[in-house]
A and B are shown apart, each in its own frame.
Chain A
Amino acid sequence: MTTTPTRPRATPSTPPTAGRTDERQWVGRGVDRRDGPAKVHGDALYTADRPFPGLTHGWMVHAPHARARIVAIDTAAARAHPGVVDVVTHDNAPRMAPPPSASLLDLSSLASRSRVEYLNTDQVHYDGQPVAVVVAESLETARYAASLVRVDYEVLPATTDFRAARDTATRAKQTPAAPTVSGTKGDAVASLDASPVVVELGLTTPAHHHSAMEPHVTTAHWDGDRLTVWDPTQGIDWCRKHLARRFGVDVRQVRVLAPVIGGGFGGKGSVWAGTLLTVLAARHVERPVRMALSREAVTRTVGARTPTMQRVALGADRDGRLRSVVHEAVVRSSTVGGGSEQVVAVSTALYATPALRVGTEVVELDMLPNTFMRAPGDATGSFGLESAMDQLAHDVSLDPVELRLRNDTDRTPLHGRRFSHRRVPDLMELGSREFGWAERGPGGRRDGDRLVGHGMALAYHPALTFEAHVVLRATAAGRVVLRTSAQDMGMGIATVLAQVVADELAVPLDRVGVEYGDSDQPIAPPAGGSTQTASLTAATVRAAERLRSRVQRLGPSAAGSVLDAVRAHGQDVEVVVGHDEGLRARAGTLRWIAETLWGQRRWQRAAWGAHFCEVAVDADTGEVRVTRWVGAFDIGAVLNAKTAASQLRGGIVMGLGLALTEESVTDARTGRLVGPDLTHYHVPSHADVPEIGIHLLGDPDPTAPRGVVGAGEVGITGVGAAVANAVFDATGRRLTHLPLTPDRVLGLAPEA
């Protein structure tokens, strides 16, 4: 595999990539992803690609006001247009049950980020809210006819200015087992006042859109009370349960399929209006409906990452040792859903400090609810903390790596819990060595028109596992098949699970099949929170143990390999891990809650990393180019060196967007998104992405099943700070407002 080190060197701690001779033949290797060939040939069928007999097409009509009451909808012209099947509005739509409130006992309740009763109400709660769906025989007809729908509104007063509404914020309450939003240890304010060195930064980050390349799309088909839904959801089970509840049918009558997903990043983790309204429209017109959302519709109806206002204050001795850490955040939520976010959690994990205070406030606006996006809270909160640490290193004249070594900790600074696994000094050593940190020279060196600078920051993301169910079957025909309703939005879950099965049962990799992406399969957790791989690895390992023991009990034929034994037995052998329904399912959930709470009291498990980068800042235009990047990571055991590196690289690339270009702009007067598309919202392009070196410790977490910790989110954390710290090194300017656009770099932007 290519981990693209900036200087080629064998790293003893890098996981083996080929030629392994021990009994675990496949785990760890950089095996090519299984769905790669179908995807490069255009053969993989995404939801919008799937032919469907008798299909009709839906198109949304959006409200142009943040708060309003619909006085009347005139659909006559749209209905009269040839090819239009019907127009669904709150005047004629079937009723839906209201969404459930969140509960730990039913995690599918988390699928609902919005309380709006779409097309069941005359109330408009955010700009962009769908108020009608046109169903037509063709996509073009539906889109055109949507322009013929006339809606009269009574416009109501709305609160849409995040800054101006700052004073209406309420404090986020800390609940058990939820990510940290508040907490105190000691008297952080008094310690801050007494500290010889104080750093205080006020920072802001804007809203971000997930911008998965595949827009949201749903195909819904009702057969009586049986519902089949094709939808690229990150949470098949949550989506299925949510739809069953909203449409008043038994969950066993709902089937959700998501075999191929074109990216998600959190944006496909909840059930948004598009999914609900496709199902609603299909019920109304009694035909299959597909609604492929336009990029504008995705942006206006699927929540974004909250903008943040942050204050970070660090008190330290002159040798850099922390005395006090204060981290406060204000986030933006909605009057109709969304919620707080763990922006300050990073400050309760990274550094030892005798006094600590973190808190979060939430402003509720008349806007589309915010939602989780890759490393919610940690992606933006790490910008705050790691920028402040960089400033502290500068103020006490220490190398940023040395400052972090002096404040390293083996316990969580807030609760004093042990980390299950933390090797931050090793990561910084590995990363600095691969980057050549010690040889970087002074900041601000001039290279033609450009000022060169270097920066670093730590990466951190907590690790959790969910309950996961699988069925593992060894067939008399000589194959092993793992079935689970897991989602693969590009992480390579089928590839790594096949590697795990192959090793656990000592069978060739090409004999292992993995079936996923269908709610008819055993329940898997959603693909989110960096939990899926670890959770499914645990269930798969248990299934393999059971299968081995079943095979051993087959009698005389049990000699030799699992496949030989089953072949000699002449019948398939199948084992089940977990129960999807009934009392035993409930017991499983309670056991998971107990294990999670108990585990959290004993230790904190996390993925870690250290970023090192080089930037070149154009001294005349203020343009920042990232020219070099090295990331060293500890994600526990590495199942597939190639796909793991790609996950981490992907996080870093999204972090480059967060640092330099990504900013969702809302007109604060109206609550309307400005340019809800990919021409105005700038995700990194090829020219923005340098060669990114990924280096892995490959050291299993002792508390995690097979030592696996998730890798999907840790990569993006710390990236914003690493870039800003490098810009500081290059220009001497401490920039605290993201993204680092040329006007800000040149000091020309008016900042609040």
Chain B
Amino acid sequence: MPAPPPARPVTLTVNGRRTTASLEPRTSLLDALREQAGLTGTKKGCDQGACGACTVLVDGRRVLGCLTLAMQAEGCHVVTIEGVGPHHPLQDAVVHHDGLQCGFCTPGQVCSALGMLAEHRAGAPSLVTEDLAADAVPLTSAEIRERMSGNLCRCGAHNGLVAAVREVAESGSAR
């Protein structure tokens, strides 16, 4: 492996706050959030884009923090689980529906669900959407499952998570 290039100052806007840190080009957004910004709510489950535990919102879109270099997020608005609350209806619904056990995947599930709901509101179809030409795709449980499949949960809290997302989507209370 060649020796890594040196660090340089990088300015990120995270949860509405501008912060500047000296970051190496190889530093992922995930590590920058966790190790530099002290925002440890975003989790590292695999560090290779397989599990979704590090999902954050960059300019409103869900991305995997481990597959995004911190420098790629320069000038963007990053929202992590710490910036979602404190009392977002989806967070309350996940607790109520017991959509978690160990909780390690939960911040990623919540951020991913918020990004997914925005994608759905914007009319994005999924693999299981039957009528691709429809103006509004009904957000069934099958649609939620398909669209949330990038976020793994090993405790098996899937039913509760889907119920929570569905409840919030139907009440229209998601941002």
Contact = CB atoms under 8 A, between A and B. Distances in A.
Contacts, number: 191
A653 B153 CA distance: 10
Interface stretch (A245-253, A406-414, A642-650): A642-650
A482 to B, nearest CB: 21
Contact of B102 (A40, A139, A490, A654): A490
B143 to A, nearest CB: 10
Interface string A184-212: 00000000000000000000000000111
Interface in B9-48: 24, 26-27, 31, 34-35, 38-48
B107 A490 contact: no
B170 to A, nearest CB: 15
Contact of A292 (B44, B81, B91): B44
Nearest to A4: B159
A686 B161 contact: yes
Interface in B75-95: 80-82, 84-86, 91-92, 94-95
| Among A263, A645, A677, A684, residue most surrounded by chain B Cβ atoms (within 10 Å) | A263
A262 B1 contact: no
B1 to A, nearest CB: 5
B61 interface: no
B26 A654 contact: no
Contacts of A686: 144-146, 148-149, 151, 153, 158, 161-162
B116 to A, nearest CB: 11
A214 B104 contact: yes
Contact of A40 (B31, B39, B94): B94
Nearest to A294: B47
Interface in A121-157: 138-140, 144, 147-148
Contacts of A678: 45-46, 48, 50-51, 152
A213 B141 contact: no
Interface stretch (A46-54, A325-333, A356-364, A584-592): A46-54
A265 interface: yes
B60 interface: no
Nearest to B82: A42
A41 B39 CA distance: 11
Contacts of B92: 40
| Among B42, B45, B156, residue most surrounded by chain A Cβ atoms (within 10 Å) | B156
Chain B interface helix/strand/loop/mixed:
loop
A263 B100 CA distance: 11
A683 B34 CA distance: 26
Nearest to B153: A213
Given A295-B46, A652-B156, A2 B40 contact: no
A36 interface: yes
B96 interface: yes
Given A41-B41, A265-B154, A144 B95 contact: no
| Among A39, A45, A210, A683, residue most surrounded by chain B Cβ atoms (within 10 Å) | A39
Contact of B157 (A1, A148, A646): A646
Contact of A215 (B45, B106, B151): B45
A300 to B, nearest CB: 14
Interface string B43-65: 11111111101000000000000
Contacts of A691: 141, 159
B102 A263 contact: yes
Nearest to A492: B101
Contacts of B85: 40-42
A491 B39 CA distance: 26
B123 interface: no
Interface string A343-360: 000000000000000000
Interface string A255-283: 00000111101000000000000000000
Contacts of A4: 159
Contacts of A23: none
B174 interface: no
B101 A646 contact: yes
A683 B152 CA distance: 8
B91 A40 contact: yes
Given A40-B95, A41-B86, A651 B42 contact: no
Contacts of A35: 103
Contacts of A491: 101
A682 to B, nearest CB: 10
Interface residues of A, number: 68
B135 to A, nearest CB: 25
Nearest to A629: B159
Contacts of B160: 2, 646
Chain A interface helix/strand/loop/mixed:
loop
A479 interface: no
A42 B102 CA distance: 12
A683 B98 contact: no
B35 A650 contact: no
A489 interface: yes
Contact of A263 (B97, B104, B145, B146): B104
Interface in B82-139: 82, 84-86, 91-92, 94-98, 100-107, 110
Contacts of B150: 685
A408 B53 CA distance: 45
B96 to A, nearest CB: 6
Contacts of A43: 41
A33 interface: yes
Contacts of B44: 48, 215, 292
| Among A43, A294, A677, A687, residue most surrounded by chain B Cβ atoms (within 10 Å) | A687
Contacts of A212: 102, 104, 154
A679 interface: yes
A40 B100 contact: yes
Given A214-B104, A677-B48, A691-B141, A41 B31 contact: no
Nearest to B142: A687
B1 A261 contact: no
Nearest to B165: A686
Contact of B103 (A211, A215, A262, A679): A262
B43 to A, nearest CB: 7
Nearest to B110: A40
Nearest to B80: A42
Interface in A48-83: 48-49, 51, 81
B159 A490 contact: no
12 contacts: A39-B106, A40-B107, A44-B103, A140-B24, A144-B1, A213-B105, A215-B44, A262-B104, A263-B102, A649-B157, A650-B155, A653-B158
Interface of B: 1, 3-4, 24, 26-27, 31, 34-35, 38-51, 53, 80-82, 84-86, 91-92, 94-98, 100-107, 110, 141, 144-146, 148-163
Interface of A: 1-2, 4, 30, 32-33, 35-46, 48-49, 51, 81, 138-140, 144, 147-148, 210-215, 260-263, 265, 292, 294-295, 489-492, 642-643, 645-647, 649-654, 677-679, 683-687, 689, 691-692
Q: Which 7 A-B pairs have the closest CB atoms?
A: A42-B41, A39-B103, A653-B156, A262-B104, A650-B156, A490-B101, A490-B102
Given A294-B47, A650-B101, A685-B149, 18 more contacts: A2-B160, A33-B95, A33-B100, A40-B91, A41-B86, A42-B82, A48-B34, A144-B1, A212-B154, A213-B51, A214-B102, A263-B104, A263-B154, A491-B101, A653-B156, A654-B154, A685-B150, A687-B145
